[in-house]
Amino acid sequence: MEKIKLSVEHCKGCYLCIANCKPGALSISKEVNAKGYLVPQVDQDKCVQCGCCYTMCPDLVFEIF
Amino acid sequence: MVPKKAPELFYDESRFCGGCGHGIFNRILAEVLEEMDIVSDTIICSDIGCNHQFQFWMNVDAIVPPHGKMGAAITAMKRVRPDKNIMTIAGDGGAYAIGIGETTSAALRNENVVMFVMNNTLFGMTGGQLAPTTMIDQKVASAPLGRTVEDNGQNTDVFKLMGDMDIAYLARTSVTSPANIMKTKKAVRKAIEKHQAGKGFCLVEVLVPCPTNWHMTPAKSMEYIDEVVSKVYELGEKIDR
Ligand SMILES: Cc1ncc(C[n+]2csc(CCOP(=O)(O)OP(=O)(O)O)c2C)c(N)n1
Ligand code: SF4
Ligand code: SF4
Ligand code: SF4
């Protein structure tokens, strides 16, 4: 089930989301966006939809379903 | 409840650096404006500095006075348009250096306006120079050996400056964790509710990171605020009337 959506085109690679994801559902992927940042990826199974990534992200990348 | 989706008033990407605290604060304020359903009843006065870039991605009514003159501008705005919610997003350089006269004069008159001051301890936009909030011994571009009282004067703590003034609300929060972001959101809402009740001058100072000029990663910048900056600049509500 898709619990969370990432609009990684807005990402600026600060990784505050990863630092605040307690269940460890987020990690740095191998994908580089058009701005040149290595963007985060999510393990949907590990996500508990706590919203901490949304709350910390300065660039509106996250949407939780 | 924790929101799950970005506020609708954002029409573009931000122009801030990665990990910049201004972006986090902009979203907090946008959430509050949408939750209170007051987006179209609000005018936000801009400062000059990185902070002023809120208007390049937020679809809100905005006015841009000269750098630092927000205290005078929001006074005029509220007197001319008492029906509108009048607030400013200011830099610590703007509010406490070039604009210290306007900021304190508006507070001394207890004008019914709201100031949100982003304290990143330096001038962000111009390259990280010393601001009134730069801490003693903190190294910045224009004080490479660190701030000293002898050369640069004492740093400005708004709790000391306004702590005894007859104003409605004076608080300081940070954006270093989801819990601190929720506290910031509560303080923002409280200030706007006091404003709507005509209580008088409200100032919320928010400790925000400037990873670029601090030469730290965004995560390290948040630790620096928790371990160093918020020890110098105490968090909490100083005045709540
Ligand atoms: C009258 C005037 N003096 C100086 C400047 C140059 N200037 C632009 S932004 C700025 C300071 C920005 O620092 P701050 O207010 O802390 O905001 P930040 O960039 O950190 O958000 C200065 C001095 C200016 N634009 N106008
Ligand atoms: S917090 Fe947002 S901008 Fe920063 S790395 Fe995560 S998704 Fe990208
Ligand atoms: S919602 Fe919570 S668990 Fe899911 S990715 Fe975000 S921070 Fe991690
Ligand atoms: S220079 Fe600092 S305050 Fe300005 S956008 Fe970059 S991180 Fe933010």
Q: Model-level pTM? A: 0.98
8 Å CB contact of A60 and B27: yes
pLDDT of A15-55, one tens digit each? Answer: 999 999 999 999 999 999 999 999 999 999 999 999 999 99
Report which of B174, B137, B141 is spatially closest to residue B155, judged by C-alpha positions: B137
The verdict on residue A25 lying in a domain is: yes
Q: What is the mean pLDDT of chain B?
A: 98
Q: Which pLDDT does position B226 carry in this prediction?
A: 98
Q: Which domains does chain B have, with CATH numbers?
A: 39-208+221-240 (3.40.50.970)
What is residue B2's predicted lDDT score, i.e. its pLDDT? Answer: 66
How are beta strands B61-63 and B42-46 bridged, if at all? parallel
Q: What's the pLDDT at B235?
A: 98
- Domain membership flag for residue A47: yes
A40 in ligand 2 pocket by Cβ < 6 Å? yes
- Residue where the block lists tokens 């601190």: B180
CA distance B157 to B160: 5
Among A55, A61, A64, the strongest candidate for a mutation testing the B interface, having the largest count of B CBs within 10 A, is A55
Q: Could you tell me where the DSSP H helices lie in B54-177?
A: 70-80, 92-93, 100-108, 149-152, 158-162
* Domain-located, residue A63: no
- Which atom of ligand 1 is the closest one to the Cα of B51? 21
- Residue at A62 is within a domain: no
Q: Find, in chain A, the residue whose alpha carbon is nearest to that of B8.
A: A60
Q: What is the dihedral of CA B89, B19, B190, B66, to 10 degrees?
A: 0
- Which of B22, B48, B52 gets mutated to test ligand 1 (max ligand atoms within 8 A of its CB)? B48
Tell me what ipTM this predicted complex has: 0.98
Q: What's the structural domain count of chain A? A: 1
Choose the residue to mutate in A7, A15, A52 for probing ligand 2, maximizing ligand atoms within 8 Å of C-beta: A15
Determine the structural domain holding residue A16 and report its residue range: 4-57
From the CA of A17, which ligand is nearest? 2
**What pLDDT is stored for residue B151 in this prediction?**
97
The confidence score (pLDDT) of residue B38 equals 98
Q: Which residues of chain B have pLDDT under 70?
A: 1-2
Give pLDDT, residue B4. Answer: 85
Q: What is the CATH number of the domain that holds A40?
A: 3.30.70.20
Please report the pLDDT score of residue A1 as a whole number.
78
Question: Quick check: is A39 in a domain?
Answer: yes
Question: Is residue A32 domain-resident?
Answer: yes
Residue A65 forms part of a structural domain: no
Residues 142-161 of B with CB under 8 A from A: none
Query: Is A35 part of a structural domain of the chain?
Result: yes
Nearest Cα of chain B lies from the Cα of A28 at a distance, in angstroms, of: 14
**In the prediction, which pLDDT does B1 show?**
54
Nearest C-alpha to atom 4 of ligand 3 is from which residue?
A: A47
CA B126 to chain centre: 17
Query: Measured between CA atoms, how close is A39 to chain B, in angstroms?
Result: 12
